[in-house]
Amino acid sequence: MAQAFQARFIQEGLSIDHTPGSNVSAGDVVVVGARALIAKLAIAANALGALATSGLFDVVKAQEQIADGTAVYWDANGNPYNGVAGTGCLTATSSGNTFMGWTVGAAAETDEVARINLSGVPSQTILGGTATAIADPGDGGAIPVSASGSCQLVTEGAETRTLADPTAVGQWLNLSFKTDGGDCVITTASPVNQTGNNTLTFADVGDHLLLIASQDGADIEWRVVANDGVALSTV
């Protein structure tokens, strides 16, 4: 048949067909290739059903604190808090696990579930750039800006960090306060908003700031996209 098109629309893609080899219960997380999807309805073994690829879901989680807006993953052998060990759970740890989406609101260490925005899009393509886990440089250190990613801040007392300007328009940086041993004050090379603020103070566990790189004349600078609890000031 002669080529009639390059692409043809099929559906919105909010769910996809799935025929499991064993029974699937409503609410089960099903890993398909590099995607962790969710069955909203039960599917019998070898019968055609559907898996959700997007939407808001409460998902069982590991005993860990997860900040709002954090990329989260499905650990198929994980231990859900207050659940059955080894049956699988949500975690903020990417290594060896399958990307699910992003948290909507923070989850405490002893919360049994976290609310997520299920996404069929791998985390490294969200907001552009290549995502990575960015190591906290520690007191007085410079937070790396070579790539997009998330940095979880840990302090053992009142500490400082510095943040240079981003390297490319569209680059993003997700900062969250994981362990509060004292305030973490980050000084940025350029203002992060129109007010001219260049000092970011993380005072409480769960404080979260999402930055994106924007062109400002001839310069590329960070701009605040979302802020939950971080005090912005000018020094």
Report how many domains make up the chain: 2
143 shares a domain with 200: yes
Give pLDDT, residue 218.
80
Q: Among candidates 148, 29, 47, which has minimal Cα distance to 99?
A: 29
180 shares a domain with 83: no
Give pLDDT, residue 190.
95
Looking at the domain assignment, is residue 9 inside a domain?
no
20 shares a domain with 70: yes
86 shares a domain with 172: no
Give pLDDT, residue 211.
93
Phi, psi of 124 (to 5 degrees): -70, -10
Give pLDDT, residue 130.
47
142 shares a domain with 204: yes
47 shares a domain with 142: no
Domain boundary among 123, 157, 188: 123
151 shares a domain with 78: no
Give pLDDT, residue 124.
44
Looking at the domain assignment, is residue 4 inside a domain?
no
118 shares a domain with 34: yes
Looking at the domain assignment, is residue 38 inside a domain?
yes
Give pLDDT, residue 99.
86
Amino acid at 225: V
Helix ranges restricted to H, 134-226? none
CATH number (domain holding residue 188) = 2.60.120
Range of the domain at 90: 15-123
191 shares a domain with 160: yes
Looking at the domain assignment, is residue 6 inside a domain?
no
DSSP the chain: -----S-------SEEEE--SS-B-TT-EEEETTEEEE-SS-B-TTS-EEEE-SEEEEEEB-SS-B-TT-EEEEETT---TTS-TTS-EEES--TTSEEEEEESS-B-TT-SEEEEEE-SS-GGGTTSS---EEPP--TTEEEP-SS-EEEEEE-SSSEEEEEPPPSSTT-EEEEEEEE-SS-EEEEESS-SSTT---EEEE-STT-EEEEEEEEETTEEEEEEEEEES-EEE--
pLDDT along the chain (235 residues), means of 10: 77 87 96 90 96 93 90 92 96 85 90 89 48 87 88 96 88 93 97 95 94 85 93 94
Terminal Cα-to-Cα distance of the chain (whole angstroms):
68
Looking at the domain assignment, is residue 7 inside a domain?
no
Domain boundary among 123, 140, 172: 123
140 shares a domain with 87: no
60 shares a domain with 30: yes
> The pTM is what?
0.54
Domain boundary among 96, 123, 150: 123
115 shares a domain with 192: no
Looking at the domain assignment, is residue 220 inside a domain?
yes
Looking at the domain assignment, is residue 46 inside a domain?
yes
Give pLDDT, residue 131.
56
Give pLDDT, residue 121.
55
